[in-house]
Structure 1
Amino acid sequence: MPYSTSSRRAAALIPALAALLALSACSPAAETAPGSGAGELNVVTSTTQLADFAQQIGGDDISLTSLLAAGASAHHFDPSPRELVALSQADVLIVNGAELEGFIDSAIEASGFTGTLVTAADGIDLAEAKEITAEGEDEAATGTPGTDAHGTDAHGTDAESGHEHGAETHAEDSHEGHDHASEPHADEADDHAGHDHGDHAGHDHDHDHGDHGDQGDHADHDHDHGDVNPHLWTSPRYASLMAAEVARGLAAADPEHADDYRERAAAYEAQLAELDSWVAEQFERVPAEQRVLVSGHDSLRYYLHDYGISYAGAIMPSFEDNAEPSAAELDELTARIKERGVRAIFVESSMSPKLARTIAREAGVTVVDGEALYADSLGPADGAAATYVGATVHNTRVILEAWGADVSELPATLGAKS
């Protein structure tokens, strides 16, 4: 198979990488993420969300580097020689999976990474995620909501009985049927987590990243990642399962500190469960007919599903934030906004707001871009959205305030992290 554009770019970086590797023998490979520990386990993550999961679970037992910086998007990312050096020296690489990181295979090849690869999406039932993805696409096309994680539709009624579900039901059922690292999976950490990828060429991937081509070249790039929307982390329920997978990976790579990883993972998963309950309670106060959202791209699929929020569509006709909508697609979206009573268009931090502003003017609705949503990336280190919990709280507040709804105070355990 011929090299894709991204593979050719990675190959072209190899001479520069070799020079940097020679220099790196006497200097740090790359800057570590803020708050990183100084432990012996050298961990590299692909996204900012995974970096936060790794930091919460790894603590001072790991040294952490995130390939993506705050504000960057994995949809159009090309690692620099310095980032490839960091990858070459990693003991563990944590990726999202679900075909998010189109650059990762060529980056591994160019860097010579021989450590343990941990795929956070392995902790999630991707068959369920595929169904949720399809429901969202169908709803955007037909206007008919699917059902949320608790069997309710996007209007807050039971799919079979038609009964409303309150906050207590959500809090009790939120994580039913999902395993966590501190529970049954904890004893499997050494067996189940990361697989050793010392011989990466021999590893059988679930998908071929090489076919994605240049993320910035629309002539070569297929905007459709596949059947599963890769923004799995936007659901705190899924984020908890991804964090559990990260914990298993760290425990397998560093058995000496396995108990510490599991203990931190249990505490973090409890915090994510509380976050899930808090977010659900906020949206349950909003009348069902007002819970209709349009975003820059289809980045919040699982968040919308879990909290019974209707999805009227996105500006970019893709899971990605660099796709190109046609004039017909924009006209259709404008019509849906008017038909479904959408109250605001929300722009993600990784996107330009210009097109959203144009559509908002045509549809006669508000565009929320001053307080962008953090979906593809967390916020800057000194901001409220610097952590996953903080970003999720921020997104929830921004959406609710645009809808004119009140937001209750955070529990102390969440406020301390946001």
Structure 2
Amino acid sequence: MFIRITLFLLMFCFPVFAASLKTVTVSTTQIYDITKNVAGDDVRVFSILAPGQDPHTYTPVPADMDRVKSSDLLIENGFHLEGKNWMKSLAADARKPIITATDGVKPLTLETGGEKINDPHSWFTPANAAVYVNNITRALIKLSPEHKDNFIMRAKLYLAELRALDSWIRKEVSVIPPSKRILVTNHDAFGYFAHEYGFVNTAPVGWSTGGEVGGGVTPQRREAAVNSIRQHNVKTIFVETTINPKLIREIAKDAGVRVGGTLYSDSMGDEGTPGETYIGMMRENVIKIVRGLR
């Protein structure tokens, strides 16, 4: 009898406990993974974007608004990564609080149409990812203060993993001679990575892949990419996961170079792939870059 009563109470109480958990919805897969590493099982975390989707060109659907309405907090990347500020628009329409993961990141700038903008791809260095971790940790503590100690412990562990990742990247890229550290990809996603680890970064598409989707890759920019490849004697260039590889393959053919594989850029990989986590994504990119350029 005692056992039956205990089981009944557990079955009755569990939904109440689950319902008490706060819910966070984030914009991108990278932010989802970083947030989950801090939140653990103490907060529910959902991502608007699925693996392989491009934040620059994404258009929210009604299900996104339903998800946002049921959330207690939203997290965006910022720096206009979410094209046309769709994450802020969702937050405003649903009257939900939103934080920006890039707050405190020292931005690099890009030029587009004669205008300088902040480069939104700041997660491409572990040091910047650590800024994301700190911002997210503070937000989660404010949202669910009863789990403060858990959030802090997880954040400390994850920050240590990011420092280890940075050390590993520096060691691995050191085998590439400085003269060969020319990183050519579809669009300007790797500026922070290039700046941090001593690469020259060039791309036929600007900071946003929306230009490519809209047919905005000019012949001049394409020709400049080919000329840059030839000028620097590049042997290998790379495709990005969220972009149609046709253009970069055509450029590779024009320049007489090979395509060295696909890099994770604006999105992580599907579940079960090596790039399903932020650290895994960075690791796999470095392995392909080193193999292609050394």
What TM-score do the two structures reach when normalised by structure 2? 0.87
How far apart are the structure 2 equivalents of 1:76 and 1:347? 18
How far apart are the structure 2 equivalents of 1:357 and 1:307? 25
Structure 1 residues 12-411: aligned runs within 5 Å: 40-101=21-82, 102-110=85-93, 112-114=94-96, 116-125=97-106, 129-130=107-108, 133=109, 226-311=116-201, 313-316=202-205, 318-323=206-211, 324-368=216-260, 371-403=261-293, 405=294
Q: 1:100 to 1:61 in 2, by over 3 A?
A: same
Q: 1:238 to 1:225 in 2, by over 3 A?
A: farther
Return the structure number with greater strand share: 2
User: Alignment length, in residue pairs?
Assistant: 271
Q: Secondary structure at the match of 1:246?
A: helix
How far apart are the structure 2 equivalents of 1:304 and 1:271? 21
How far apart are the structure 2 equivalents of 1:49 and 1:306? 19
User: Shift of residue 109 of structure 1?
Assistant: 3.5
Q: Deviations over 1:205-258 (max 9, x none)?
A: xxxxxxxxxxxxxxxxx8899521000101111011111111111111111111
Cα contact 1:95–1:120 (8 A) shared by 2: yes
Q: Partner letter of residue 243 of structure 2?
A: M
Q: Secondary structure at the match of 1:123?
A: coil
Q: Secondary structure at the match of 1:372?
A: strand
How far apart are the structure 1 equivalents of 2:46 and 2:19? 11
Task: Give the CA RMSD over aligned residues.
Answer: 1.9
Q: Partner letter of residue 295 of structure 1?
A: T
Q: 1:39 to 1:235 in 2, by over 3 A?
A: farther
Match of 2:15 in 1: none
How far apart are the structure 2 equivalents of 1:226 and 1:105? 22
Q: 1:53 to 1:304 in 2, by over 3 A?
A: same
Q: 1:278 to 1:342 in 2, by over 3 A?
A: same
How far apart are the structure 1 equivalents of 2:44 and 2:150? 15
Cα contact 1:87–1:93 (8 A) shared by 2: yes
What TM-score do the two structures reach when normalised by structure 1? 0.62
Return the structure number with greater helix share: 2
Cα contact 1:385–1:394 (8 A) shared by 2: yes
Cα contact 1:71–1:378 (8 A) shared by 2: yes
User: Shift of residue 123 of structure 1?
Assistant: 3.2
How far apart are the structure 2 equivalents of 1:113 and 1:69? 24
Q: Which runs of 4+ in 1 moved over 6 A?
A: 222-225
How far apart are the structure 2 equivalents of 1:46 and 1:58? 16
Q: Deviations over 1:116-155 (max 9, x none)?
A: 3221111323xxx23xx35xx6xxxxxxxxxxxxxxxxxx
Structure 1 residues 1-20: aligned runs within 5 Å: none
Cα contact 2:25–2:75 (8 A) shared by 1: yes
Match of 1:146 in 2: none
Cα contact 1:348–1:373 (8 A) shared by 2: yes
How far apart are the structure 2 equivalents of 1:269 and 1:284? 23
Q: Percent identity?
A: 32
Q: Deviations over 1:149-190 (max 9, x none)?
A: xxxxxxxxxxxxxxxxxxxxxxxxxxxxxxxxxxxxxxxxxx
Q: 1:362 to 1:270 in 2, by over 3 A?
A: same
Unaligned runs of 5+ residues in structure 1 are: 1-36, 138-221, 406-418
Q: 1:275 to 1:264 in 2, by over 3 A?
A: same
Q: 1:275 to 1:225 in 2, by over 3 A?
A: farther
How far apart are the structure 1 equivalents of 2:286 and 2:117? 27
Match of 1:206 in 2: none
Q: Secondary structure at the match of 2:102?
A: helix
